[in-house]
Chains A and B, each alone.
Chain A
Amino acid sequence: MRLHSVYKVPQGKLLKISVEYNKKNNVIKNIRITGDFFAYPEEAIEQMETKLRNTVLDEEQLLDKIRSIITEYHIQFIGVDAEGLTKGILMCKP
Chain B
Amino acid sequence: MKEQWRLLQTGFDTAFSNMAIDRAILVANSIGNVPPTVRFYGWMPPAISLGYFQSVTEEIDIQACKKLGVDYVRRITGGGAVFHDKELTYSIIIPEAHPAMPKNILQSYGRICNALLQGLKQLGIHGTYAPINDILVDGKKISGNAQTRKANMVLQHGTILLDVDVDTMFSLLKVPNEKIKDKLIKDVKQRVTSIEHIAGKRIRFEEVAEALKTGFEEEFHVELVQGILTNEEKTLAAQFEKECFSTAQWNHRR
- On A, residues with C-beta under 8 Å from B are 6, 13-14, 16, 32-42, 45, 76, 78-79
- CB of B150 within 8 A of chain A? yes
Residues on A with C-beta less than 8 A from B51 are 35-36
The reply to whether B105 and A39 form a contact with Cβ atoms under 8 Å apart is: no
Residues on B with C-beta less than 8 A from A13 are 80, 132
Instruction: Report the separation of the CA atoms of residues A71 and B150 in the bound assembly, to the nearest whole angstrom.
Output: 18
Residues on B with C-beta less than 8 A from A45 are 53
Contact among A34, A39, A40 for B58, CB-based, below 8 A: A34
Among residues of A, the one whose C-beta sits closest to the C-beta of B133 is: A38
- CB of B176 within 8 A of chain A? yes
- CB of B148 within 8 A of chain A? yes
- CB of B121 within 8 A of chain A? no
The reply to whether B106 and A33 form a contact with Cβ atoms under 8 Å apart is: no
Instruction: Report the separation of the CA atoms of residues A10 and B7 in the bound assembly, to the nearest whole angstrom.
Output: 38
- CB of B149 within 8 A of chain A? yes
Among residues of B, the one whose C-beta sits closest to the C-beta of A42 is: B52
Contact among A16, A34, A42 for B76, CB-based, below 8 A: A42
- CB of B254 within 8 A of chain A? yes
The reply to whether A39 and B150 form a contact with Cβ atoms under 8 Å apart is: no
A42-B52, A42-B148, A76-B105 known; A36 and B254 CB under 8 Å?
Answer: no
Instruction: Report the separation of the CA atoms of residues A68 and B118 in the bound assembly, to the nearest whole angstrom.
Output: 41
- CB of B54 within 8 A of chain A? yes
A34-B53, A34-B58, A78-B105 known; A40 and B149 CB under 8 Å?
Answer: yes
Sample (25) of A-B pairs whose CB atoms are under 8 Å apart: A13-B80, A14-B80, A16-B55, A16-B58, A33-B53, A34-B58, A34-B254, A36-B53, A36-B78, A36-B80, A37-B53, A38-B77, A38-B78, A38-B79, A38-B105, A38-B146, A38-B147, A41-B149, A41-B150, A42-B76, A42-B78, A42-B148, A78-B106, A79-B78, A79-B132
Residues on B with C-beta less than 8 A from A76 are 105
- On B, residues with C-beta under 8 Å from A are 51-55, 58, 76-81, 105-106, 132-133, 146-150, 176, 254
Instruction: Report the separation of the CA atoms of residues A42 and B78 in the bound assembly, to the nearest whole angstrom.
Output: 7
Residues on A with C-beta less than 8 A from B176 are 6
Q: Which 9 A-B pairs have the closest CB atoms?
A: A36-B80, A38-B78, A34-B55, A42-B52, A36-B51, A34-B53, A36-B79, A34-B54, A40-B149
Among residues of A, the one whose C-beta sits closest to the C-beta of B76 is: A42
Among residues of B, the one whose C-beta sits closest to the C-beta of A41 is: B150
The reply to whether A36 and B147 form a contact with Cβ atoms under 8 Å apart is: no
Instruction: Report the separation of the CA atoms of residues A26 and B215 in the bound assembly, to the nearest whole angstrom.
Output: 54
Residues on A with C-beta less than 8 A from B133 are 38
Given contacts A33-B53, A36-B81, 9 further A-B contacts (CB under 8 A): A16-B55, A16-B58, A35-B53, A38-B132, A41-B150, A42-B53, A42-B148, A78-B106, A78-B132
Instruction: Report the separation of the CA atoms of residues A36 and B254 in the bound assembly, to the nearest whole angstrom.
Output: 12
Instruction: Report the separation of the CA atoms of residues A36 and B148 in the bound assembly, to the nearest whole angstrom.
Output: 13
Residues on A with C-beta less than 8 A from B55 are 16, 32, 34
Residues on B with C-beta less than 8 A from A42 are 52-53, 76-78, 148, 150
